[in-house]
Structure 1
């Protein structure tokens, strides 16, 4: 009897091990599910330039010494800075905002400061605009500082308007929740 049990055990092991006809059919197919790749959101800036009313480039960079150029009543300075916005992603939405507005020691009645604005290549103000990948490209930031000609006596001697802390921020916007009909598989 022990020999019979041993023979049955060896036979079963051979059949289960692929050496016999106890196999079941099966087939494998690739899912072809593809790859998921992330998009991109990038903001790069070029050096900004200040010019006086005569179109002369003036140096106002603090680490070069703000004393490099001193405004006088009647002076008008304009600022221009190009930036490149890159938005990649099928549902990418972003806003470009200006951070840290300029601070001024000048008396308000003596100056006019047009805060920094950012415009696209067509001249459209991008404040509060929702940008999409089609909006990728060059945008321009600009500002204007006017020291009014009719400033009283010696008002605002040695005053400073500080634009050094102005920065730009490109923020991805939260996508709206999909509706039930837009959800795959339903």
Structure 2
């Protein structure tokens, strides 16, 4: 067989395969609805701080126990201070299979601007200790969709321990911002 004949046969087989892969040629067709024109609506997940009871900052240090801090912006922290923020939050979740957890947001304590060595040192010292308890537990999982009221206690501890020359003295006159000090709720797999 010559090359032209072999090429024509191969070309014919290729055309047949292409036509066969495209399906059969049908002139009649029909369709039926999937889902009977149903509507799907998304759920939601929100968190809001309650106005009552009023949120409060307290401080403990040695013999001082839970003294109320009326204005955290004017409070001057020292090593040994344990600052606590207590507030009530409402977490609302709608969605048939919704499950969520709550906790302290990332980057909760950051160096204030302008960023200085003192601000960074204080942020490092306080940020390492930031914790949150939700209804007295370090972990909280929304038990079911709906509205849930939780008591949140966020704690920032300036340890009275370690090497003051390398850990505490560099933080003198430092300032931190709590703009990212947030309670974060996040959906998790059910």
TM, length-normalised to structure 2:
0.51
Whether 2:68 is the aligned partner of 1:57: answer yes
Query: Any gaps of 5 or more consecutive residues in structure 1?
Result: 1-33, 61-65, 176-186
Aligned-pair CA distance for 1:158: 0.3
Contact 1:118–1:126 (CA under 8 A) maintained in structure 2: yes
Query: Any gaps of 5 or more consecutive residues in structure 2?
Result: 1-37, 112-119
User: Residues 111 and 125 of structure 1: is their aligned pair in 2 closer, same or farther, counting only changes over 3 Å?
Assistant: closer
The correspondence of residues 1-186 of structure 1 with structure 2, limited to 5 A, is: 39-46=43-50, 48-53=55-60, 54=64, 55-58=66-69, 59-60=71-72, 66=73, 68-99=74-105, 100-103=107-110, 105-106=120-121, 113-119=128-134, 121=135, 123-126=136-139, 129=141, 131-133=143-145, 136-148=148-160, 151-152=164-165, 155=169, 156-173=171-188
Contact 1:41–1:86 (CA under 8 A) maintained in structure 2: yes
- Which structure has the greater CA radius of gyration? 1
TM, length-normalised to structure 1:
0.52
Contact 1:113–1:146 (CA under 8 A) maintained in structure 2: no
RMSD: 3.9
User: Residues 111 and 136 of structure 1: is their aligned pair in 2 closer, same or farther, counting only changes over 3 Å?
Assistant: closer
SS of equivalent residue, structure 1 residue 106: helix
Aligned-pair CA distance for 1:97: 4.2
